[in-house]
Amino acid sequence: MRTIDWDSKKNNIIMIDQTLLPGEYKIIECDTIGSLCEAIKSLRVRGAPALGAAGGFGVALAAYRSNAPTLDVLIDEVAKAGKTIISTRPTAVNLSWGVKRVIRAIEDANNIKEVRVFSLDEAKAIADEDVEKNRELGRYGAALLDDGDTVMTHCNAGRLACVDWGTALGVIRSAREEGKDIKVISCETRPLNQGSRITAWELMEDKIPVTLITDSMSGHVMRKGMVDKVIVGADRITQDAVFNKIGTYTHSVIAKEHGIPFYIAAPVSTFDFEHYEDDIEIELRKPEELMYFGKHQIAPLDVKVYNPAFDATPMENVTAVITENGVFYPPFLIDEVRI
Ligand code: MRU
């Protein structure tokens, strides 16, 4: 199934629980805004484009679950639910983009039934478009890859970070579909290991050759000539920087040092050219993520911990941004991207 979807029989959100992978493949359902927010915060659903769909479906869920007696009360409740959903993860712009897009779609609703229908239609459109856009983005990105390339990636910008297909991994899937022999090096992505748990798993499911390394090995493999290109996703692209999983910036510096192209693959919905790097809040996560590995304690419990989920890579370290509207080489203007 898709990473996230709508169960039309129960009018609930269903999703693959990504915290259980690769050990267990389990579909869970969210039937309240509270359970959806818990799923987003604990990364059961994660990855910028998947969060866009989660935000959209979340607004529809709020409309379906509400017992509001009038249209005005319902609109008010849905708006409040939207704000609660947005507050769960501040850095990935797609989450607020998805919520706001569906809230805009209900502005013309004349009654409670229309709020439900319009919100669900728009949320489903976000999900369907995500798959189409990733396919288009994949085709543009595939043209940048040569037969025989080894691509290094960080975190998971694959089908599980999106509704389907993927951004960075979508480019690799598209290139392989064109018959190019592409191999992948996946960084494990501490502390929550999206690279080893999810990227390695989904590539192996598709029989795409993947080698797992620790994040700190990226300098070694790039210096040894084992990496032809780096492709990562993005959680937000401001005028001057690309926000992505913590560790991305380090890889960009090493890639620059060794003259290795460093590509970002992201849909246009990830662009936030109204802001600059310093305006953006980087999500800080719980110290326990560094103190425990699963249930195993790996640090003194009273140690001071700094655990930002994302970092910012300055645009000068980025070779190009691959989108569904084409490949853009910095510096570029947002009007060129949003054709
Ligand atoms: O904390 P996560 O797992 O949601 O972080 C995800 C990433 O950083 C991805 O690289 C990004 O969302 C791009 S997904 C296409």
Examine the domain organization and report whether 291 and 165 are in the same domain: yes
CA–CA gap between residue 42 and residue 61 (Å, rounded): 19
Examine the domain organization and report whether 163 and 122 are in the same domain: no
Single-letter amino acid, residue 297: Q
Q: Ligand 1: does its nearest atom lie under 6 Å from the Cβ of 49?
A: yes
Examine the domain organization and report whether 78 and 157 are in the same domain: no
Q: Ligand 1: does its nearest atom lie under 6 Å from the Cβ of 94?
A: no
Best substitution site from 4, 163, 165, 194 to test ligand 1's pocket, by max atoms within 8 Å of Cβ? 194
Omega before residue 90 within 30° of 0, cis: no
Q: Tell me which of 100, 117, 134 is where a domain ends.
A: 134
Q: Tell me which of 106, 134, 162 is where a domain ends.
A: 134
For residue 124, give the CATH number of its domain: 1.20.120.420
Q: Are 206 and 232 in contact (CB under 8 A)?
A: no
pLDDT value of residue 339: 84
Percentage helix, strand, coil, to 5, in the chain? Answer: 45, 20, 40
Q: Tell me which of 85, 102, 134 is where a domain ends.
A: 134
Examine the domain organization and report whether 147 and 285 are in the same domain: yes
Q: Ligand 1: does its nearest atom lie under 6 Å from the Cβ of 237?
A: no
Examine the domain organization and report whether 149 and 46 are in the same domain: no
Residue whose CA is at the smallest distance from ligand 1 atom 10: 233
Examine the domain organization and report whether 159 and 286 are in the same domain: yes
Q: Ligand 1: does its nearest atom lie under 6 Å from the Cβ of 167?
A: yes
Single-letter amino acid, residue 271: F
Examine the domain organization and report whether 146 and 121 are in the same domain: no
Examine the domain organization and report whether 102 and 174 are in the same domain: no
Examine the domain organization and report whether 99 and 175 are in the same domain: no
Q: Which of 149, 215, 235, 311 is catalytic?
A: 235
What are the angstrom distances between the C-alpha of 26 and each of 40, 109, 159? Answer: 16, 36, 16
Residue whose CA is at the smallest distance from ligand 1 atom 8: 245
103 CA to middle of ligand 1, Å? 24
Examine the domain organization and report whether 169 and 306 are in the same domain: yes
Strand order in the sheet with 150-153: 210-213, 183-187, 150-153, 229-232, 262-265, 320-323, 326-328
pLDDT value of residue 177: 98
Examine the domain organization and report whether 177 and 267 are in the same domain: yes
51 CA to middle of ligand 1, Å? 9
157 CA to middle of ligand 1, Å? 6
Question: Which ligand 1 atom is at minimum distance from the Cα of 154?
Answer: 10
Examine the domain organization and report whether 162 and 123 are in the same domain: no
108 is catalytic: no
Q: How many domains does the chain have?
A: 2
Select from 310, 245, 248 the least CA-distant residue to 283. 310
For residue 271, give the CATH number of its domain: 3.40.50.10470
Q: Ligand 1: does its nearest atom lie under 6 Å from the Cβ of 81?
A: no
Contacts 24+ apart (CB under 8 A), 76-81: 78/103, 78/106, 78/115, 78/119, 79/103, 81/33
φ and ψ of 29, to 5 deg: -120, 150
245 CA to middle of ligand 1, Å? 6
- Local confidence pLDDT in tens for the 339 residues of the chain: 999 999 999 999 999 999 999 999 999 999 999 999 999 999 999 999 999 999 999 999 999 999 999 999 999 999 999 999 999 999 999 999 999 999 999 999 999 999 999 999 999 999 999 999 999 999 999 999 999 999 999 999 999 999 999 999 999 999 999 999 999 999 999 999 999 999 999 999 999 999 999 999 999 999 999 999 999 999 999 999 999 999 999 999 999 999 999 999 999 999 999 999 999 999 999 999 999 998 999 999 999 999 999 999 999 999 999 999 999 999 999 999 998
Residue whose CA is at the smallest distance from ligand 1 atom 6: 47
The whole domain housing 149 covers 137-338
Q: Ligand 1: does its nearest atom lie under 6 Å from the Cβ of 235?
A: yes
